[in-house]
Amino acid sequence: MAAVNIKSLKESQIGEFLNSFDTVLTDCDGVLWMETTPLENSPEVMNKFRDIGNQVFYVTNNSKKTRKELVEKCKELNFQATEGDILCTSYLAACYLKDLGFDKKVYIVGSTGVSKELEQVGIKHYGVGPDIVQKDVPYMSFQRDPEVGAVIVGFDEHFSYPKILKAASYLADKTVLFIGTNRDEKFPLDSNIIVPGTGSLVRCIETCAEREAVIVGKPDTYIVDALKKRYAIDPKRTLMIGDRCNTDILLGTRCGFKTLLVLSGVTSLTDIETWKNSDSQEDLDLVPDYYIDKLGDLLPYLKNFERSSSA
Ligand SMILES: [Mg+2]
């Protein structure tokens, strides 16, 4: 597998590329927007993908928001979306438990995205919000709630020592399920401040509990299994777009999708050059089929595109 600079393809070849898929999965941050600013022409490209007959899914490791809140964000930034088009890890964690017929309570180390999605499927929970060290409440006085049958770890800006203690204590019981939303180590911010991501929190609790979490986000394939249960997806005619190779592109590779890296986010061209020449399959799995500077660069081709009838 070798990376191809899509910009160097002749227009006729881009037509062939655009005809080669009818399902598009895209990451959000770094591809469609940066925080709350849409990237130039990304909304137009995504909406155009839909206009020419693709089914479009937004696939994000974000666990802070619910699907409903992400639809609102999409709309504010001019991306067409419904709740059915959104696969975020707060929702996936709830799907995972619902699909198992889980009927106990969840201890959440995470945000309201997770608690609200659990409520949508009627699962009880507790744990969201600050849980600080209190001098007059010794740790050893913690009493496990016998109803708790799962621990979910997502993004939690209130992450604390008492939360680690509680999560690990529940997980000492091996029948308690352990779900992590994702393993992104840090946020891709252009600054000299390192903002810890959920992966750092998951690893911390895994270390203390001496157990590994089931991960529902990218690059683990649960996310695509959940999608396939609900929609008809042909891997050979599916395109995965992302800005991060160790999540987005790796997921695409694992699922047999075509992969397109945009260079507007985390992974740089230098990274790909290194992996492309590696002997290790692990590195080769990170190499996308195509790359492009930014998603918006596809717009001129999509404007003139007509799907061939044989596709
Ligand atoms: Mg991203």
* Domain count within the chain: 2
pLDDT for residue 1: 43
CA of 303 to the centre of ligand 1 (A): 25
Query: Do residues 211 and 243 share a domain?
Result: no
Which is more confident, 47 or 136? Answer: 47
Examine residue 84 and state whether it is found in any structural domain, yes or no: no
Average pLDDT estimate for 11-17: 79
CA of 185 to the centre of ligand 1 (A): 13
pLDDT for residue 96: 96
Examine residue 133 and state whether it is found in any structural domain, yes or no: yes
Cα dihedral sign, 195-227-259-77 = negative
pLDDT single digits (tens) 172-200: 999 999 999 999 998 877 778 889 999 99
Q: Quote the percentage of the chain above a pLDDT of 70.
A: 95
pTM summary value: 0.91
CA of 272 to the centre of ligand 1 (A): 16
The rounded distance, in Å, linking the Cα atoms of 264 and 293 is 6
pLDDT for residue 188: 72
pLDDT for residue 256: 95
CA of 160 to the centre of ligand 1 (A): 26
Length of the chain counted residue by residue = 311
23: phi then psi, degrees, rounded to nearest 5: -130, 135
pLDDT single digits (tens) 129-151: 999 988 877 778 899 999 999 99
The rounded distance, in Å, linking the Cα atoms of 306 and 298 is 14
pLDDT for residue 186: 86
Which is more confident, 304 or 96? Answer: 96
List active site positions: 27, 29
Q: Which residues pair with 108 in a beta bridge?
A: 152
In this model, does residue 107 exceed pLDDT 70?
A: yes
- Backbone angle region of 195, left / alpha / beta, with phi > 0 → left and psi within -120 to 50 → alpha: beta
Query: Do residues 137 and 181 share a domain?
Result: yes
Note down the domain range covering 279.
Answer: 4-61+239-303
CA of 224 to the centre of ligand 1 (A): 17
The rounded distance, in Å, linking the Cα atoms of 29 and 243 is 8
Examine residue 278 and state whether it is found in any structural domain, yes or no: yes
Query: Do residues 185 and 258 share a domain?
Result: no
Query: Do residues 131 and 178 share a domain?
Result: yes
Query: Do residues 243 and 144 share a domain?
Result: no
Query: Do residues 198 and 120 share a domain?
Result: yes
Examine residue 226 and state whether it is found in any structural domain, yes or no: no
Average pLDDT estimate for 294-303: 91
* SS3 state of residue 207: helix
How many other β-carbons are positioned within 10 Å of the β-carbon of residue 185? 14
CA of 59 to the centre of ligand 1 (A): 10
CA of 198 to the centre of ligand 1 (A): 14
Give the mean pLDDT of the chain: 92
Query: Do residues 203 and 252 share a domain?
Result: no
CATH of the domain at 143: 3.40.50.1000
pLDDT single digits (tens) 203-253: 999 999 999 999 999 999 999 998 998 899 999 999 999 999 999 999 999
Query: Do residues 183 and 261 share a domain?
Result: no
Query: Do residues 56 and 119 share a domain?
Result: no
For helices 89-99 and 222-230, give the axis angle rounded to 10 degrees.
70
Q: Quote the percentage of the chain above a pLDDT of 90.
A: 78
pLDDT for residue 152: 98
pLDDT for residue 91: 97
Q: Which of 183, 215, 247 is the last residue of a domain?
A: 215
CA of 71 to the centre of ligand 1 (A): 17
Q: Which of 215, 248, 263 is the last residue of a domain?
A: 215
pLDDT single digits (tens) 51-97: 999 999 999 999 999 999 999 999 999 999 999 999 999 999 999 99
Examine residue 136 and state whether it is found in any structural domain, yes or no: yes
Query: Do residues 244 and 200 share a domain?
Result: no
Query: Do residues 52 and 94 share a domain?
Result: no
Query: Do residues 194 and 143 share a domain?
Result: yes
Q: Which of 64, 175, 142, 49 is nearest to 109 (CA)?
A: 64
In this model, does residue 7 exceed pLDDT 60?
A: no
CA of 31 to the centre of ligand 1 (A): 6
